Every structure is written in structure tokens, then in C-alpha cells.
Amino acid sequence: MASRTGPVAGDAQQHDGGDRCFVGRAAEVYPAARSDMVGAGDAAMTTNRSFARALIAVLAGLSLAGPAAAQSGATTASATPDRIAVVGVRAFPSPEAAPIEDVVILIEDGVITRVSGREAGPVPEAYQVLETPGGSALAGFWNSHIHLTRPVLMTASEQTDAALQAELDNDFTRWGFTTILDLASTTAIAKGVSDRIEEGRVRGPRLLSVGAPFYPPGATPVYARPFYEAFGLPSAEIVSADEAVARVADQIDGGAAAVKLFTGSIVGGDPDVVHMEAATVRAITDAAHRRGRPVFAHPTDRAGLDVAIRNGVDVLAHSAPIMGPWSDADVRALLAADVALVPTLALFEEAADPRTPVQTAIQQTRALYAAGGRVLFGTDAGFTDAFDTSSEMRLMYEAVGWRGLLASLTTAPAAVVGEEARRGRLAPGMVADLVVVTGDPTADLGALSDVVLVIRAGKVVYRRP
């Protein structure tokens, strides 16, 4: 997949439980969603919940055949903030590598310079020492499917640094994310958040965004229409293939790190799903690839999946349980097209509807991974209120096991955006993105959601109070 796209531009250029219950068909949900938006503030906060309900309702209703580790902040003489030593942890250097006990990780100027046991030598002078006894260090986590649709994030330019900091901590950094991929907002919204992070006014993950998505003509998803109305956003529907290609260039010029298509857009009524024309999909993917950007697609059903994989899409933004289990032929087609998957499994667990069973989504994920395909971790957080990663971790582990889960959080997404030589592993020369969790995640999977320390590009961006 990296052969289609090059590394994204540098950091500076890139820009508690969920409420996702099943509430009926879209025709019943849509008026309720509209009524949530009579004002700003608290009314706007309920928007995300309404959209989450609506998405799951429509998906389900389509008429288709250990104790916290102590931390110390000791420093050696003349310590500088650009030199950090993470000491006394168990390190998981990569999904394939065996863990290393009682490790010293040295970081200088944003780069890892050492990952080895204490026997390799003491911590040099002038390092800030961070000890997390009993903890485990892993490469920084990627969330490959989020949305900047929380009101504080959408209006970042109007927010205080303290308000934006609290939102970033609660939504992303406290869960270990050092890179997040926003799969639909606008380039202006993404830039508003990213600029504050890169200026150092707030601490947070690296933000990569697709900017505005691309919907088929006349086919804004039924669950998203109230959102566009409430916030006065411009339509993201395609007018023509030529216009779409021009918009790809405009959004990339504005900082977009990827492109997102709705190859199957849920509109309700008859038909329930509108599919993007193959020629348009191909025109958009070709335009994105010429600029070194990967293309994500929301497939929904078999027709949306087929038009995506036959026309250059790189990543499916959701699994598609409504189409049933994937056959060997389906998996071969995905592998031949080098298409990765962000399954968003917890979304379908919450739906709990027989037409979109989470076990089918798990089967699709397991089948692709077992055949050698790439699977990326993503939660759809922001569109939903489920920022806690526990459920997605558990379901992903069921689908792909420990090594597959760790790869989905680290090496797999780095490879998709052409950064596997710089990110995704704990090794000398890699960008110093890392997370420390309590305990041993191979013994207790819950440790992956129990984060005590996050370092991004050599800077501490989160320490649990």
C-alpha cells in the first residue's frame, strides 16, 4: 500500500462510555435528531449521540437481502526537556518482537536513541528520568478512524487553551493516541485544532485529516444531514468528477493527509443506499495517489465494497456486516487490490441487531488478517461518544489476537501512510512516539486502556494525575 502513497507531510503541516443504542429506523430518528439542535452549547453536545443512534439505526434497518504504576520525575544533573529516559518498564518493541524486561528507553531531540536493558549502561547525565515500575512501553497508538465533531473541536479557534486541552486529553491522549486520523470534518476545522497543537499552546496527538468527505451527488447520508444544517457546513456532495478532482487538490493544498469517499451512502427511502459511480471513484483515487495520499472509503454493502476495491481505494473505513461473511473470493479480491480495513467493531456490537451482527464484522476482520491483509484500529470516536477504547480492544483481540491488535495500533497504520521507516516501533532512529500502560497487556488486555504516560515526538503530552 505504501507503493501507492508516499509519506505524509511533516507534523507541522498536518493539520466516558458511549451512547450508541439502537433506536429504530432512520425515518423515525431523523426528526428527533433535528430537534436536538435548537441551540448551541448543551444542545450541540447531543448532536453526536443523535448521529450515532441514526447511523446504527439505518445500518440495522437497511432493506437488503493491575494497580496504577507509580511515576517519578527525577532528573540527572542539568537535565533538559529534549532528553528523556523512560526507565524500568517492560518494552514491546514491535508486534513481532519479544518483550524486553527492565528497559531503559532514551529519547533525544524527538528521536529514540536507545532501547535496551539496564545492563547496557546507566542513564547518561542531563536526562529527565521517568520511572514507571511494572509498566509496559509500546509504540504510540494510532486511532485510524475518529471525527472532529465534538463542539469544542469544531470551534477550536473560539476555545480557551484550557478547554481545548481538556477535550484532547479526555478524547484521545489519555487513551494513548499519538496519531489520530480524522475521517470527516473540514480542512478548516482540522487546521484549527492542529495549529494549536503544533504551536505548543496545547498538548495533543498528531492530527491527520481527510478534511471534507466526498458524497455521491444528492446523497449526503441521512444521519449527517442535521449536522451540516446545525453547523452551517458546505455540502460535501460531488457535482461532477472534474469538480471532485479539483476539490481533492484544494483539500490537499489545505493540509489534508488523506481522502475519504462514501462509495455506499445511506440515504434512507428507496433506494436505501446510493453508490458512487466507478469512474468517479477512479478519478478521485488517481488524483489522491498522484499527490501521495491514501484513500479511505465508507462501503456500507457489497456494491459499495466492490466499487471501492476495483477503483483504487486503499482503506475501508468500516467493516460491512450487512453483506454477510466474507468468502475466500472476497478476501482474495481485497488482497489483490491491497485494501486495508478499519473494522470499527464496537459500533456493531452496540447496534445488537441481527442484520448487522458484530460476529460477522469480526469474521470479516479475522479472514482478512489471517490471509495477510492489513487491519487498522479505529473507534469512530467523535461521531459517537465512545472514547473509552476497552470495547474495541477486546473485539479486535477476538478477531486478530495480540500481535494483530498491536500491529493495528502501530505498524499497520504507519505503513498505510508510508511512515513505517519512522513510526510504529520502539527502536533507535524512530520518532519518539510511545505510550506506557500499567501492567502487562499480554496478561491483562485491559492494560492497553489504562495509560499512565504518553510521549509524542519526544515531548510528554499526557501523564496520568
CB 259 within 8 A of CB 280: no
What does the alpha-carbon distance between residue 265 and residue 77 come to, in Å, rounded to a whole number? Answer: 59
Identity of the amino acid at 366: R
Flag whether pLDDT at 249 surpasses 90: yes
Q: Which three cell numbers stand for residue 278?
A: 466507478
pLDDT digits (tens, 9 = 90+) for 336-359: 999 999 999 999 998 777 888 999
What is the average pLDDT across 188-192? 94
Pairing verdict, β 434-437 and 451-456 = antiparallel
What confidence score (pLDDT) does residue 145 get? 98
What is the average pLDDT across 413-437? 97
Flag whether pLDDT at 325 surpasses 90: yes
Q: Give every CB contact of residue 240 below 8 A, 6+ residues apart in sequence.
A: none
Flag whether pLDDT at 28 surpasses 50: no
CB 345 within 8 A of CB 362: yes
The neighbouring-strand residues paired with 116 are 104
What confidence score (pLDDT) does residue 458 get? 97
What is the average pLDDT across 164-186? 97
Task: Give whole-number Cα distances, 225 to 55, 179, 212, 272, in Å.
Answer: 12, 28, 14, 15
More confident residue, 457 or 80: 457
Of the given ranges (27-41, 48-62, 308-322, 396-410), which has the lowest mean pLDDT?
A: 27-41
Nearest alpha-carbon partner for 144 in 97, 103, 104, 178: 178
Percent of the chain residues past pLDDT 70, beyond the cut:
83
What does the alpha-carbon distance between residue 358 and residue 76 come to, in Å, rounded to a whole number? Answer: 51
Percent of the chain residues past pLDDT 90, beyond the cut:
75
Angle between helices 328-336 and 358-370 (to 10 degrees): 60
What does the alpha-carbon distance between residue 169 and residue 394 come to, in Å, rounded to a whole number? Answer: 22
pLDDT digits (tens, 9 = 90+) for 65-77: 333 333 444 444 4
- Helix or strand holding residue 283 (H, E): helix 278-290
What does the alpha-carbon distance between residue 204 and residue 415 come to, in Å, rounded to a whole number? Answer: 22
What confidence score (pLDDT) does residue 119 get? 87
What is the average pLDDT across 24-47? 31
Q: What is the CA radius of gyration of the chain?
A: 21
More confident residue, 82 or 141: 141
Q: Give every CB contact of residue 85 below 8 A, 6+ residues apart in sequence.
A: 76, 104, 105, 106, 107, 123, 127, 128, 129, 130
Residue 239 burial (CB < 10 Å; 0-12/13-18/19+)? Answer: exposed
Flag whether pLDDT at 42 surpasses 80: no
What does the alpha-carbon distance between residue 266 and residue 262 come to, in Å, rounded to a whole number? Answer: 9
pLDDT digits (tens, 9 = 90+) for 1-23: 544 555 554 433 333 333 332 22
pLDDT digits (tens, 9 = 90+) for 217-234: 999 999 899 888 988 889
Nearest-5° angle of CA 197, CA 382, CA 196? 10
pLDDT digits (tens, 9 = 90+) for 256-281: 999 999 999 999 888 999 999 999 99
What confidence score (pLDDT) does residue 346 get? 96
What confidence score (pLDDT) does residue 386 get? 87
Query: What is 381-415 written as a DSSP string?
Result: BTTBS----HHHHHHHHHHHHHHHHHHHHTHHHHH
What is the average pLDDT across 275-297? 98
The neighbouring-strand residues paired with 451 are 437
What confidence score (pLDDT) does residue 298 get? 98
CB 52 within 8 A of CB 19: yes
What is the average pLDDT across 308-327? 97
Q: Give every CB contact of residue 245 below 8 A, 6+ residues apart in sequence.
A: 283, 284, 287
What does the alpha-carbon distance between residue 419 and residue 282 come to, in Å, rounded to a whole number? Answer: 24
CB 255 within 8 A of CB 243: no
pLDDT digits (tens, 9 = 90+) for 151-170: 999 999 999 999 999 999 99
Which residue has cell 509524542? Answer: 456
Averaged pLDDT of the chain? 86
What confidence score (pLDDT) does residue 36 get? 31
Of the given ranges (22-31, 57-66, 236-245, 258-267), which has the lowest mean pLDDT?
A: 22-31
What is the average pLDDT across 402-415? 98
